[in-house]
Structures are given as structure tokens and as C-alpha cells.
Amino acid sequence: MRRTRTRALASTIAATALVLSACGGSDDGSGEDGGSDPQATSAGAKLASTWPLTGLPVKGDDSAVQDHPVLVLKMDNTSSSAPQVGLGSADLVVEELVEGGMTRLAAFFYSRVPGDAGPVRSMRASDIGIVSPVDAAMVTSGAAPITIKRINGAGIEFFGEGAKGFYRASGRSAPYNLFADMTATATLTRGGERPADYLSWGDAADLPKGKPASGLAASFGGGHTTTWSFRDGGYVNESGYAAEGDEFPADTVLVLRVEVGDAGYRDPAGNPVPETKLEGKGEAMLFHDGRVVRASWSKAGLDAPIELATKQGELTVPAGHTWIELVPREAGDVTVTR
């Protein structure tokens, strides 16, 4: 059974209260509202009208409550993955360290689910802290037994090779040829309520001024660096492998400096498997509109939301598509281009 997050449930209750209040006053015929909280119903209405992974408004006949949960596909992020498929449909992406100094992507899909997406690779224990805040289901090639035990213990639903929608693409070599038709895989699980917001969304006008930043390079250690340039109002991944026209449309790049430990086992090549600790607190850098705002992040637990703050108080992320870089605090580095 899928878990129910308290914050998501509260959002649903608030939205429901708004609908009920719109139908009339109290049931005693007095016309009084029975003590309803206008602030709570207003917050519920706002949540119901925005997407949880972007903060962008829901348009037309779309609903912020889909018939599937948030789906997170684990995607290879090496040159062997080129061209990556499906990133252009993602709401949000998290890049995390794996063994050998390489990275993998956790691509979040909710407002739109693509057809083909991949190459699909395996989960890591790091994913618990990444996907739990929105009670996401994972699309993955599998995982080591120790990881599966921890993923199951965290109550995370996942689908692997052999499940509906998975297939091996011709013309690619294993293990980089596993893909998923996400529209088919999405039918294996059900939604039912709007997920909690992944980040605290706000307006770009509310951002502190920050400092000019025309780009950045996020180094994950000796194996991989992701380079971004700010062009035409958005961020371009200069070191990415996405298919042309299928790139992730990053409005914001959020860098979190994180602790990285040992997951307790080695990959088939003998490399120790790292585990990103996405809880606690650390330094943050928010890149938006050609500027960078330095802040701090905190996360009370693996299933808790990411919270950002400056010395002046809470820092919200401008509504839009956000790419999150989980850069190792010790071995990693971030270089800002002015």
C-alpha cells in the first residue's frame, strides 16, 4: 500500500474545503460559515491550481491531481547514454553521484508523461531522500539486493525490467538499451491526490538580487562535471547527452552541497558505491535569470521537503523547471562564471 504524506493530505483537505464552502454556508441554515478558515481555503485553492513539481499554473482542463503518482525514472548520464530520451517532458531533474565518479539522473514526471524515456538504469539508496518527499514511484532497471531491501523498507513503489512498458531498443548496446514507454508504465500504479510541492515555489520578483552569473560548472569529483550556460532566458546543459529538441528546459539550477558516504557494497567493477545523504543541512546556490543567490538548505528527514533560506529568511524557488545538482561537499566543487 502506498504511503500518504501529511502535507499532501492537508493540501487535499484544504482544496476540498474550498469546494464545500463554495456550495453554501453552514448546514444549520443560518448562513454562517461555521468557523471555516479563509486562509486555509485560499492556500488550498492555490495548491490545486499549480503543479507540485514546478509551481506553474494548471491550464485549461488539466488537473493538478493526475491518475498516477509522481514517476521518477533513473536515467544513465554518461556518453554511452546518448541520446537520452524523454528529458524534455520532465517537470524536474535531480543529478546524483554514483560509483566511479559518474552521475545519474532522477527525472521526475507528473504534469506530462512521455512515451519513450531512457536509457533506464538502476536505483541507489540515495534515491530514498530524493523521491520520498512526493511519495513517487520509481522506474528503474533494478538495484543491488541491499538497495532493494532499503527501498522496500522506505515504502517506495518501483517498477523494473519485465514490467509493462519496458523494452530493449535495437541499435544500442546493453546496459544502455533499456527504455520504458512511460505512458504504459504509468498504468501500473494509481494516484489519487495532489502530491506535496517538491520545493517552496514563489515568484522571481521575490528573489534577492544576488550576484551576476552567466554560468556554472558543478563538479562531482574526478569523474564528471556538469556545465551550464545562461542563454535566452534559460539554462543550457553544455555537457548533457539529451537528444536534440528533447533537452530539459531548465529555468533554474539549484545546487545543494551534500554529504556523501559509503553505501556498503561495490559495483560489479569493484568500485565502492557512494550514498548521498539528502537530509540535514548545507550550503545552497540558486541560479536564476543570469544571477546566483547564495543560501542554505535543510531537510529534517529523508521524507521531509527541502527548505531554503538566506539570512533574511525563507528563500522560494521561482516557479518553473528546476534542475537540482547534489554536489558532494568534500570531493565536489562549484565554479561560477560571471
For the chain, 338 residues long, give each residue's pLDDT as a single digit of tens.
344 443 333 333 333 333 333 333 333 434 444 445 554 455 556 667 999 999 999 998 888 999 999 999 999 999 999 999 999 999 999 999 998 889 999 999 999 999 999 999 999 999 999 999 999 999 999 999 999 999 999 999 999 999 999 999 999 999 999 999 999 999 999 988 999 999 999 999 999 999 999 999 999 987 899 999 999 999 999 999 999 999 999 999 999 999 999 988 888 778 888 999 999 999 999 999 999 999 999 999 999 999 999 999 999 999 999 999 999 999 999 999 99
Q: Does 175 fall in a domain?
A: yes
Q: Does 43 fall in a domain?
A: yes
Pick the last residue of a domain from 141, 158, 188: 188
237 & 325 share domain: yes
Q: Count the domains in the chain.
A: 3
Task: Identify the pLDDT of residue 61.
Answer: 80
163 & 253 share domain: no
Q: Does 267 fall in a domain?
A: no
Q: Does 269 fall in a domain?
A: no
306 & 219 share domain: yes
Q: Does 59 fall in a domain?
A: no
Task: Identify the pLDDT of residue 46.
Answer: 63
Range of the domain at 104: 71-188
Pick the last residue of a domain from 131, 160, 188: 188
218 & 332 share domain: yes
What is the 3-class SS of 223-264, one letter each residue? Answer: CCEEEEEEECCEEEECCCCECCCCCCCECEEEEEEEEEEEEE
Which cell goes with 200?
Answer: 517552496
What is the distance between the alpha carbons of residues 63 and 264, in angstroms, rounded to a whole number?
42
CATH, residue 176 = 3.50.90.10
85 & 182 share domain: yes
- Cα–Cα separations (whole angstroms), residue 2 to 134, 138, 141: 11, 13, 21
Strand 322-328 to 92-97 pairing: parallel
222 & 330 share domain: yes
Q: Does 60 fall in a domain?
A: no
Calculate helix-pair angle for 38-48, 6-22, nearest 10 degrees.
110
Is there a cis peptide before residue 38, judged by omega within 30 degrees of 0? Answer: no
CA 258 to chain CA centroid, Å, is 16
What is the distance between the alpha carbons of residues 314 and 202, in angstroms, rounded to a whole number?
11
Of 191, 186, 196, 235, the residue nearest 53 (C-alpha)? 196
5 & 121 share domain: no
302 & 235 share domain: yes
328 & 205 share domain: yes
What is the distance between the alpha carbons of residues 81 and 102, in angstroms, rounded to a whole number?
12
114 & 222 share domain: no
Q: Does 270 fall in a domain?
A: no
Q: 285, 334 in Cβ contact below 8 A?
A: yes
78 & 111 share domain: yes
Q: Does 78 fall in a domain?
A: yes
157 & 254 share domain: no
